[in-house]
A = this chain, B = another copy of it.
Amino acid sequence: MNFLEERIVKDGIVKKGNVLKVDSFLNHQMDIALMEEIGKEFKRRFGDREVTKVLTIEASGIGIAAFVAKEFGVPMVFAKKSKSINIDGDMFVAEVESFTHKNKNQVIVSKRFLSEGEHVLIIDDFLANGCALQGLISIVESANAVVEGCGIVIEKGFQFGGRVIRNLGYRVESLAIIDAMDSETGIITFREQ
């Protein structure tokens, strides 16, 4: 087990309905030393790529992406979620469905912060059905920028998002891929990588 899998086993809580709570260290309270370690690990995994910008989506991606951007020495941009906005032509927009909240959101990034030819590393905390990640990829493509890869902290391997995005040819690196979890026993099964 790597450092993240160990932390998930130690502090993650498996709830009914395939819900994994990691709010004590990742997405409500943040362990900053862990964030730094995650930043370094993504730098190691994507160190062969030219990265000029790190892109994530609010809110819980921000803390993680900031430390990845620090390692690469590049700016970080976070996409904003908006129910309905007046698009003024200055924004890249993608429509994203949320399975958790059963609604649709627009995800927006100002055109000033994604330029043609830019090399983008996309970072997010979770990958499940892949809707948010597809939205971010579509925004990068709209900008005629290059998706250098997608760095995910926790992938739910039993949902289809990761497979779809890898099949589309994108490089996805997940620090932990969960193949199964059991809310009765609390046992989490990680994929061997």
**Chain A contacts to B: CB under 8 angstroms:** 23-24, 28-32, 35-36, 58-59, 62-63, 66-67, 69-70, 73-78, 80, 109-110, 112-113
B residues less than 8 Å from A76 (CB atoms): 29-30, 32, 63
Query: Chain copies in the assembly?
Result: 2
Which residue in chain B gives the minimum CB-CB distance to A108? B28
| CB <8 Å contact, A113 and B66 | no
- Give the chain B neighbours of A63 by CB distance below 8 A: 62-63, 66, 76, 78
CB nearest neighbor in B for A79: B28
- Determine whether the beta carbon of B75 is less than 8 Å from that of A29: yes
Contacts of A75 in B (CB 8 A): 29-32
Instruction: Give the interface SS of chain A, mostly helix, strand, loop or mixed.
Output: mixed
* Interchain CB contact under 8 A, B77 and A30: yes
Q: Which one of B30, B31, B70, B109 contacts A78 once the chains associate, using CB atoms below 8 Å? A: B30
Given A23-B110, A110-B23, A28 contacting B80 (CB threshold 8 A): yes
Q: Does A32 contact B70, Cβ atoms closer than 8 Å?
A: yes
CB <8 Å contact, A66 and B35: yes
Q: Do residues A70 and B36 form an inter-chain contact, with CB atoms below 8 A?
A: yes
Chain B nearest Cβ from A35, distance in angstroms:
7
- Supply 11 further A-B pairs (C-beta < 8 A) apart from A32-B76, A63-B78: A24-B112, A28-B78, A28-B80, A28-B109, A28-B110, A29-B76, A32-B70, A32-B74, A59-B59, A59-B80, A63-B66
